[in-house]
Structure 1
Amino acid sequence: MSLAITLHLLAATTWVGGMFFAWMILRPVAVELLEPPQRLALWYRAFQRFFPWVWGAVVVLLATGLWMLFGVFGGMGGAGWHVHLMLVSGLAMMAIFLHIWFAPYPRLGKAVSAEEWPAGGRQLGQIRRLIGINLILGLATVAIASGGRFL
């Protein structure tokens, strides 16, 4: 059980922390210092490095979450409301990430390669909004996970 919790927390911290850094730190600095072509190239390259970590986090979160759900709680019936909410929010975050991965992210890469900056800007804007939603969901999930069983 302690291995599952540790891996689960590390995966969640990696994903949510990465989104927090991107939204709250990197984005304002990139807007302040870089012109749109350089900013779009920066974001695409940053996503190329971050998204494999997100894929890893998704796999670890699903595997360890289900391990704990069935191994510790004996299934959904034995889990508290906070576990149910965690599962729903986690699945929603994963669905949003999958949409980013399969839709605006590849289009951003094509736009950057073709130097089509307005099209790239639209794709980056969509990714930014979706990551913002995921960040809110992720922070809420962390709060639910850490305090839900005490309510």
Structure 2
Amino acid sequence: MYATAISLHVLATLVWVGGMFFALIALKPGLAEISPDDRLFLWHGTLPRFFAWVWGAIAILWGTGWYIIEKLYGGLYAAPGHVHLMMTLAGLMTILFALIQAGPMRRFMKALENGQPAAATNEHQRMKTLITINFTLGIATTIIGTAGAYMG
């Protein structure tokens, strides 16, 4: 069961952090070659799908994370500092993601549905900024989670 939890934890990380990498590093620059309206509608069609996968990844990450901490350390109290730091960053990422979805994502979708591309563009820019912050936190969390025990 422990090996399954570790595997699911890593796969969920790949979905969330890898998805942000793809969106920010590959997709967004590639979209510069299409019209602004087409870009907005592509994001409109893809972001809800990605966000649904991220919510699933978050559930898996928190569930497997607590399981791993319990099995490996006997609970959070006995876990080393890097685990506490990883959990803190994961908490910040989760909160930030929820704020992205409740704020700029919701407004982005509504603006497009109401035929307001300028407002949608503004909200998309807010999302990009917040997702970049979350991506940076995700990279840091991944490094801490994988190498933290070996940092001295």
Q: What is the aligned partner in structure 1 of residue 29 from structure 2? A: 28
Q: Percent identity?
A: 39
Asked whether the equivalents of residues 82 and 149 of structure 1 are also in contact (C-alpha less than 8 Å), the reply is: yes
Q: CA shift at 1:33, angstroms?
A: 1.2
Aligned length: 150
TM-score by length of 1: 0.96
Q: What is the aligned partner in structure 2 of residue 17 from structure 1? A: 18
What is the 5 A alignment of 1:1-150? 1-30=2-31, 32-150=32-150
CA distance in 1, matches of 2:133, 2:44: 19
Q: CA shift at 1:128, angstroms?
A: 0.4
Asked whether the equivalents of residues 96 and 134 of structure 1 are also in contact (C-alpha less than 8 Å), the reply is: yes
CA distance in 2, matches of 1:65, 1:127: 27
Q: CA shift at 1:45, angstroms?
A: 1.1
CA distance in 1, matches of 2:109, 2:91: 26
The answer to which of 48-57 and 34-43 deviates more is 34-43
Secondary structure of 2:43's partner? helix
CA distance in 2, matches of 1:146, 1:71: 17
CA distance in 1, matches of 2:10, 2:19: 14
Unpaired runs of 5+ in structure 1? none
Quick one: which amino acid aligns to residue 10 of structure 1?
L
Secondary structure of 1:115's partner? coil
Quick one: which amino acid aligns to residue 80 of structure 1?
P
Quick one: which amino acid aligns to residue 82 of structure 2?
H
Q: CA shift at 1:70, angstroms?
A: 2.1
Q: CA shift at 1:74, angstroms?
A: 1.4
CA distance in 2, matches of 1:102, 1:61: 21
Quick one: which amino acid aligns to residue 138 of structure 1?
G
TM-score by length of 2: 0.95
CA distance in 2, matches of 1:67, 1:145: 15
Asked whether the equivalents of residues 107 and 120 of structure 1 are also in contact (C-alpha less than 8 Å), the reply is: yes
CA RMSD of aligned residues (A): 0.9
Secondary structure of 1:11's partner? helix
The answer to which of 119-128 and 73-82 deviates more is 73-82
CA distance in 2, matches of 1:141, 1:113: 35
Q: CA shift at 1:72, angstroms?
A: 2.3
Secondary structure of 2:73's partner? coil
Unpaired runs of 5+ in structure 2? none
